[in-house]
Amino acid sequence: MVQTSQLAAENLFSAKGHVCVVTGGGTGIGLMITQALAANGARVYITSRRKEVLENTAKTHSPSGDGEIIPIGPCDVTKKEDLENLVAEIGKKEKSIDLLVTNAGISGPKGSPESSDASELNKNLFKNEDFASWSDTFNTNVTSVYFTTTAFLPLLQASIKKDDHHLSPSVIVISSMSGIMRDSQNHFAYNAAKGATVHLAKLMSYEFKEAGIRVNSIAPGYFPSEMTAKESGEDNKSELPDEKIQEKGHVPHGRAGSDEEMAMGALFLMKNKYVNGEIIAIDGGALLELPGR
């Protein structure tokens, strides 16, 4: 029988003793999740293509308690050799990992469909975009998620050997509300790629369940990041003013999501062993306003 005291938040969402890996963990949503894990006691390895960003994040945001933020890499998640080196390097330090967060992503090319004239649409979409930029968008937002996850499967499964009170290994795929809606948002490549990321998470959740590895996805709405705000400060944090969100006209909450709200979503999916194959939208109600599938 569970005692009432055992249901305290610090017990339900403690990450003490957990080993986690976050790609794109130096800024934006990846940093929010990294902070949440480390603040609750996890040892968090963060990687990206920019070594100086990783080192600054670890220096600036490592907690004073039990948790730790460890920069590792750099790593380009679109290159198998980099991923193999990353897994090998972490494998030298850890016997297993409990959580992988595949967060690295890019926005891709823009093309406006806001015209009823076919010639104008042709100019904005066909002539102004190219195959290479679409391929780059898919490689980073979809293909890299697949190869990053499959590269870490042995280290993830290895954590099952721990005691029964430990977290079952899991993967959190950062997709997007853009992959669940019909509105292109002037980003056909990005939204199509994120739609594929959403489905990839479902495929992996089904196929890896026999290996004892859960796969879930967070589909964020507008959160401060270098992608949405176009920049970050000396602390690698970004700001997204309320008026920028209100201008969009389709976010009932009228603001960007907060670090705390992303943190709660990540901790929930990491700790709840009874959740598998789910796509959790944290979007301020935007999908209530935009056409979805």
Question: What does R_g of the chain's alpha carbons equal in angstroms?
Answer: 19
**Active site (annotated) includes residue 274:** no
The pLDDT value given to residue 249:
92
Residue that the structure tokens 């990294």 belong to: 34
Q: Check the CA dihedral 77-226-101-49 and report its sign.
A: positive
Residue 293: which pLDDT band, with cuts at 50, 70 and 90?
low
Give the integer Cα–Cα distance in Å for 197 and 200: 5
* Residue 112 in this model has a pLDDT that exceeds 60: yes
pLDDT band at 100 (very low <50, low <70, confident <90, very high): very high
What pLDDT is attached to residue 226? 85
Neighbours of 32 (CB within 10 A): 27
Q: Would you call 8 helix, strand, or coil by DSSP?
A: coil
Select, from the ranges 99-113, 115-129, 189-203, the one with the highest average predicted confidence (pLDDT). Answer: 189-203
**What value does the mean pLDDT take over residues 22-39?**
97
pLDDT in tens, 42-54: 999 999 999 999 9
pLDDT confidence of residue 170: 97
Tell me if residue 175 is catalytic.
yes
> What's the Cα-to-Cα distance from 153 to each of 40, 51, 135, 267, 276, rounded to whole Å?
24, 25, 25, 20, 16
| pLDDT, tens digit, 9 for 90 and up, residues 247-283 | 999 999 999 999 999 999 999 999 999 999 999 999 9
What average pLDDT does this structure show over 214-226?
A: 95
Checking if the pLDDT of 29 tops 50, the result is yes
Give φ, ψ of 6 to 5 degrees.
-70, -15
d(Cα 284, Cα 256) in Å, to the nearest integer?
8
d(CA 14, CA 65): 12
**190 given a catalytic annotation:** yes
Q: What is the CATH number of the domain that holds 126?
A: 3.40.50.720
pLDDT tens, residue by residue, 149-165 = 999 999 999 999 755 54
Backbone dihedral angles phi then psi of residue 32, each to the nearest 5 degrees = -55, -45
Residues sharing a CB contact under 8 Å with residue 243, sequence separation 6 or more, in sequence order: none
The residue segments making up the domain with residue 195 are: 4-289
- Summarised one tens digit per residue, pLDDT across range 51-84 is 999 999 999 999 988 899 999 999 999 999 999 9
Q: In angstroms, rounded to a whole number, what is the distance separating the alpha carbons of residues 28 and 46? A: 13
Terminal-residue alpha carbon distance, the chain: 42
The active-site residue, picked from 170, 176, 190, 217, is 190
Selecting among 175, 176, 178, 225, the annotated active-site residue is 175
Kind and range of the H or E element at 243? helix 242-246
Q: Which helix (H) or strand (E) holds 219?
A: strand 214-220
Looking at every residue in the chain, the average pLDDT score rounds to: 94
Tokens for 137, please give them.
């968008």
What was the pLDDT predicted at 165?
46
The amino acid that residue 78 corresponds to is T
Distance, in Å, from the CA atom of 96 to the CA atom of 192, rounded to the nearest integer, reads 34
How many folded domains does the chain comprise? Answer: 1
Point out the catalytic residue in the list 48, 107, 168, 194.
Answer: 194
Is the confidence at residue 19, as pLDDT, over 60?
yes
Look up the pTM and report it.
Answer: 0.94
